[in-house]
Amino acid sequence: MIPPGGDALSDMVLRTVNLTKRYGTRLAVNGLNLEVRRGDVFGFLGPNGAGKSTAIRMILRLVFPTDGDVELFGRSLHREGHRVLDRVGAIVEKPAFYGHLSAYRNLEILGGLRRRVPRPRILEGLERVGLLDRADDRVKTFSHGMNQRLGLALALLSEPELIILDEPTTGLDPQGVKDVRDLIRELARERGMTVFLSSHLLHEVEMTATRMAVIHQGLLRVEGAVRELLGGGEAVVTVRIDRPEEAARHIEDRGGYPSPERRDDGFTLKMDLRRVPDLNRDLVQAGFQVEALIPERSLETYFLNLVGD
């Protein structure tokens, strides 16, 4: 959403322009054009090897592109270098810490590489990710999931305007995944932070992201608002109806529909959403009492249809 008096250009937080990375003869990322605007929770999706991590590393200047550019807050990363990254926080895959030092001391040292971080902010960061009670423990005693939490605390320490998270929930238990999800929502809604989120957990992205892009074999396949992208196409339609076994047989005999899968009070069909009115009409005209037709199109279904299994 563009604030009053703003425009699309001033609202642009992250923009990639024909971003390309070649390793020998292999194109890891091929002419990637993304636009992330202020306040977005932007899901960046793709199967393993699609080019997600390479793209993120180019955005953070950890890897230099073969061609193209990255613009952060309207400033060229190619022309201005690391100065553009002052307003960005990030966690990329598994964060590395000094194992013999405490969680607090790690944040104090690593967070202070830019500028000194006051003690209250470090403690607030540890509390935010659920590690305040482990502040004085050595990091080498931490589990993988706790290291992920500490990495998230470090990324947030400078109160960035844009935070880039590459698989932030790796190794977390279900409660940890929920905590990260809630934190992302808080950062976006209450603190006005823009979040760029790469994840394999499609359900989490579906529950969290406002916009998303799917990359496959280095190419951008789709980009847009999550609700709009999931609003059409193929879906699983749950049919609640009287005489469900009879109705399922009728659909099979009628032809033109996929085979129904029986459920307790009806059946489901995997079908194009545009045909749902036809299905309803066919059942009603055949004398069945249709209680409900519930189309559900998950991000997982959309993703697999787009890039294959």
Q: Does pLDDT of 2 surpass 80?
A: no
What's the gap between Cα 80 and its chain centre?
Answer: 28
pLDDT at 309: 54
pLDDT tens digits for 279-304?
999 999 999 999 988 877 677 777 77
Structure tokens at 6: 């703003």
The predicted structure's pLDDT at residue 236:
79
Average pLDDT, the chain: 86
Spatial neighbors of 50 by CB under 8 A, at least 6 apart, are 215, 216, 217, 218, 307
pTM (two decimals): 0.75
Question: E-assigned strands of 153-228?
Answer: 162-166, 194-198, 211-216, 219-225
What integer pLDDT is reported at residue 159 of this predicted model?
Answer: 86
Going along the chain from its start, the domains and CATH numbers come out as 12-226 (3.40.50.300), 234-307 (3.30.70)
pLDDT above 80: residue 221: yes
**Residue 233 confidence (pLDDT) above 90:** no
What is the pLDDT at residue 230? 75
In the numeric block, the tokens 């992250």 are attached to 14
Burial of 1 (C-beta count, 10 Å sphere; 0-12/13-18/19+):
exposed
CA atoms within 13 A on the CB side of 22: 7
- pLDDT of residue 249 exceeding 50, the answer is yes
DSSP code of residue 159:
-
Q: How far apart are CA 294 and CA 240, in angstroms?
A: 8
Residue 237's nearest CA partner among 263, 200, 203 is 263
Q: What is the DSSP string of 32-91?
A: EEEEEETT-EEEEE--TTSSHHHHHHHHTTSS--SEEEEEETTEEHHHHGGGGGGGEEEE
Quote the pLDDT of residue 264: 74
Above pLDDT 90, what percent of the chain?
40
